[in-house]
Structure 1
Amino acid sequence: MPQTSEGNVHALQYREAKPSQGDPSRPVSELFRLDDLTGATGFLGTTLAIAIFESGADIICLDLFPTPTASNWGEVENAAEKNQRRLSYYQLDVTDENAVAETFAKFIPTLRYPVKGLVACAGLSRNGPATELPASSFRRVLDINVTGTFLVAQATAREMIRTNITGSMVLVASMSGYGTNKGVDTAGYNASKAAVHQLTRSLAAEWGSRVEIPLIRVNSLSPGYIRTAATAEALQKPGMEAQWTGDNMLYRLSTVDEFRAPVLFMLGDGSSFMTGTDLRVDGGHCSW
């Protein structure tokens, strides 16, 4: 998406249906396997895609642009080849309900295995004083961060129900859904990420308790400040980096690779008794 802060969308797919419940006979090494999923591009998205390949999955990437724009897209392609996985890319505006349905209808027949998961990390932030922020900008943030996340989760759930496959979703929220960020005026972004937290809980309650559909677990990830090209401009403001690093207990910014294990955990069977939960990975920012 334009001006993305996290990345885009990952649809995930397993080789075979597995019961989403504890199994003491399974080795720990298998609890983080994602054998055959589908996923996306962006600062966080490409890093997660590579990790998902290494965990044994196929990946479908969904993004607004006609072709991948990530500077490290070659690394994603190399990871797919190295791990003998399939990589596909489809252009999609996640805020367009009809486009979401059409795109899913286009790629579903090409998959080797049923869809069994989703990583939704499309995100937009429009900064500026709330007294001057146009309503159109505020709506655009909510449309991408909340409506877009809902539409892709909805389409994924419909496919899981159609194939009667249990699955897992990770919706990328933010620590900004818990509080505001010092020195940065992001009222729309903060509100949208709080909405993703509630969307996560609501979808988890609905899709985890209905006996007539397969179990679908839904959790969210709330990253802290990440050092990426998306935050580079804000960090140019005098004193901003010192403030951001001093705002958490580890006194540094995170890097995108530090979110690989949390996402793989929530997608895999290692988190089989976890749903409706937000996993905050913020260096202790919200724990002061």
Structure 2
Amino acid sequence: MTDFGGRSILVTGAAGGIGSAIVRQLVAANADVVASNRDAASLAGIVAETGCRIAPFDLTSEEEIAAALGELDLWGVVNCGGFGGEIASPMDTDIDVFDRVMAVNARGTLLVTKYAARTMIRLGVGGAIVNVSSQASLVALQNHVSYGSSKAAVDNITRVSALELGKYNIRVNSVHPSVVMTEMSEFYWGRPEIGGPFLEQMPLGRWVTQDEVAAPVVFLLSDGASMITGAHLPIDGGYTCR
């Protein structure tokens, strides 16, 4: 059983479905979890449930991230905070929405990595970072140009960070979930004409659960993955192996 021995791990997007599942599993594995979201009020539920600490900040604000992480001792990070944006083709996309998606998903991931890694290097005990990407960065999905592009940028941030931080014994990996059928995704993927053909192409033929995303994240943070860095792990029921 994984035991983090009280290591401090930051989880962004901790008020969301996947983020809160990651917090629960990390707390169960004896991690000292620091949950983050845009505001403290949104974290009240997960704090009451798990007893985790909080460090709220806006992922689009370098000033807030620097202030929150500057003196926060961290061993690990899960970059899970994100923005889905819009369902639109390249011809129809709203560039303002595209910019917002990139600002939250890509720029936000880089900013958290920037300031968290400085602390991890200062502490000198190594650590691990896991970025929550998407299957949309590995294969083209219709109407996902903004989201897929932002997650492809996250993948490059993952690779370059793994290259740069390895000498400090800091590992950086990403996970790539398929669709988690949340209330937010139901409006699109719940349509029979959209979700049906998608599942027919997936070998396992079902939607991924939040806990099925959280468990591989916990593994990649753990010492059991101590020789894994720069990896991109699909959690997609085999969809991207087609």
Q: TM-score, normalised by structure 1?
A: 0.78
Partner of 2:17: 43
| Post-superposition offset of 1:66 | 4.1
Runs of 4+ with deviation above 4 angstroms: none
* Match for residue 63 of structure 2 among 98, 113, 116: 98
Structure with larger Rg: 1
1:78 partnered with 2:49: yes
**How far does the alpha carbon of each residue in 1:210-261 deviate from its partner, in whole angstroms, 9 at most, with x for none?**
xxxx311000011111111221111343422212321210111111111222
Q: 1: distance between equivalents of 2:157 and 2:237?
A: 24
**How far does the alpha carbon of each residue in 1:53-101 deviate from its partner, in whole angstroms, 9 at most, with x for none?**
000012111111341168xx25x53333xxxxxx122331112111111
**How far does the alpha carbon of each residue in 1:80-137 deviate from its partner, in whole angstroms, 9 at most, with x for none?**
3xxxxxx12233111211111111246x2xxxxx410000011212222322222211
- Structure 2 gap ranges (5+): none
1:34 partnered with 2:7: no
Secondary structure of 2:75's counterpart equals: strand
Change (3 A) 1:119 1:167: same
CA contact (8 A) 2:202 2:239 kept: yes
Partner of 2:195: 241
CA contact (8 A) 2:137 2:149 kept: yes
Q: 1: distance between equivalents of 2:91 and 2:56?
A: 35
Partner of 1:276: 230
CA RMSD of aligned residues (A): 1.7
* Match for residue 261 of structure 1 among 209, 212, 215: 215
Partner of 2:117: 157
The residue type paired with residue 135 of structure 1 is I
CA contact (8 A) 1:178 1:286 kept: yes
1:147 partnered with 2:107: yes
Secondary structure of 2:128's counterpart equals: strand
- The aligned runs of 1:107-186 (5 Å cut-off) are 108=72, 114-125=73-84, 126-181=86-141, 184-186=142-144
Secondary structure of 1:60's counterpart equals: strand
Q: TM-score, normalised by structure 2?
A: 0.92
Q: 2: distance between equivalents of 1:285 and 1:204?
A: 26
